[in-house]
Amino acid sequence: MRYYSLILLLIGISTGAQERYRDDLFTSTPALTLEYAVKDKQSLKLDLYQPKEDTLRKRPLIVYMHGGGFSGGKRDDKAEVNFARISARKGYVFASISYRLTRKGKSFNCTTPLAEKMETFRLAAEDVLDAVKFLLRNDSLYGIDNTRVILGGSSAGAEGVLSAVYNDDFLFNNRFAYKNFEPAAVISFGGAIPDERYLVASNAVPGVFFHGMQDDLVPYKAASHHYCGEDEPGYFMLNGSRTLADKLKTLDKSYMICSFKNLGHEAANIPFEFLDDVYHFLKTVVVDHEFFQAEFVQNYKGKP
């Protein structure tokens, strides 16, 4: 088994030649806004960014869900737009999506009934999968490689994509419409899933995880949602980045986890300082189909 440390990741080997999917080879097209679904009388849209003047017919696709506690956030917030443009410059197609904010104006705490919480996770997972289905129906139009689709998200968005991938059997109860797609990788900034028992060899998609070890909102390891007590209506267990990375390691799958000793949930913000490591992982695992595992723990000295 090959294992890489942060030192090896950061040092790298410079060949002098620029490399697609790791270096900036293009400019980004302006966002192309598309409607991917209408649900509950809501028009759900995505903003699509592409590498400008790229002649390659099939490029990896990143589909990204913003954070906001399932009650706020926007697909075109500054951080999401920056992430999209950076990715497009490296040769990726990038879709930043809106989804149903089912907790807007509602509680999402220990008094919220468990059934409502599970429905929140399920609907978010459903929306990201519907966005993927829409894009794959138009893969030739937008130059998408349908075998190299990467799902990513921050906070609530990360919980949506992780649930869609690692908890599909749990949330969809064998509904075929949401079980016939397997992404090439997932990217999670401060995310978690309801039940790690459903992460098994058949759905153990390679994962990139960033998480604050002091996170008091979404647990770094395994803890109850919002740290509710067992006697409260909203009690259920969440399994965070450390638990998911350990499971992928046990299953001998590719993963990378960055754990920040001194950060809480603010680590769910897009870690722009570390995106080179994310692109290194994606190029190695998704594009080159190589096995890769990496872990690093550090005190963050910037301002997330």
pLDDT at residue 231, as a whole number = 95
Which of the four pLDDT bands, split at 50, 70 and 90, describes residue 3?
very low
Give the pTM.
Answer: 0.93
- 32 in any annotated domain: yes
Residue 271 lies in a domain: yes
Residue 229 within a domain: yes
Query: What is residue 87's predicted lDDT score, i.e. its pLDDT?
Result: 98
For the CA atoms of 272, 59, 155, 124, what is the dihedral angle to 10 degrees? 160
Residue 14 covered by a domain: no
**pLDDT digit string, tens, across residues 183-221:** 999 999 999 999 999 999 999 999 999 999 999 999 999
Domain hosting 204: range is 4-8+20-298
304 domain residue, yes or no: no
What whole-number percentage of the chain has pLDDT above 70?
Answer: 92
Tokens for 150?
Answer: 């990467």
Query: Would 13 be classed as within a structural domain?
Result: no
- Assigned domain for 253 exists: yes
| Cα angle 119-45-101, degrees, rounded to a multiple of 5 | 30
Q: Is residue 15 part of a domain?
A: no
Task: Inform me whether the pLDDT recorded for 272 exceeds 60.
Answer: yes
What is residue 179's predicted lDDT score, i.e. its pLDDT?
58
Once rounded to an integer, what is the mean pLDDT over residues 84-112? 97
pLDDT over 90 (residue 157)? yes
Q: Is the pLDDT of residue 123 over 60?
A: yes
The CATH number linked to 103 is: 3.40.50.1820
Find out whether 6 and 296 touch, Cβ atoms under 8 Å. Answer: yes
pLDDT of residue 141: 97
Distance CA 191, CA 157 (A): 8
Query: What's the confidence (pLDDT) of residue 180?
Result: 63
What value does the mean pLDDT take over residues 144-173? 94
pLDDT-above-90 percentage for the chain: 88
In the block, residue with structure tokens 């690692």? 166
User: What angle in degrees, to the nearest 10, is found between the helix axes of 156-166 and 114-137?
Assistant: 80
pLDDT digits (tens, 9 = 90+) for 39-78: 999 999 999 999 999 999 999 999 999 999 999 999 999 9
The count of structural domains within the chain is 1
Sorted by sequence, the CB contacts under 8 Å of residue 41 that are 6+ apart come out as none
Among residues 67, 56, 32, 57, the alpha carbon closest in space to that of 46 is found at 32
Token pair of 127, please?
């929306």
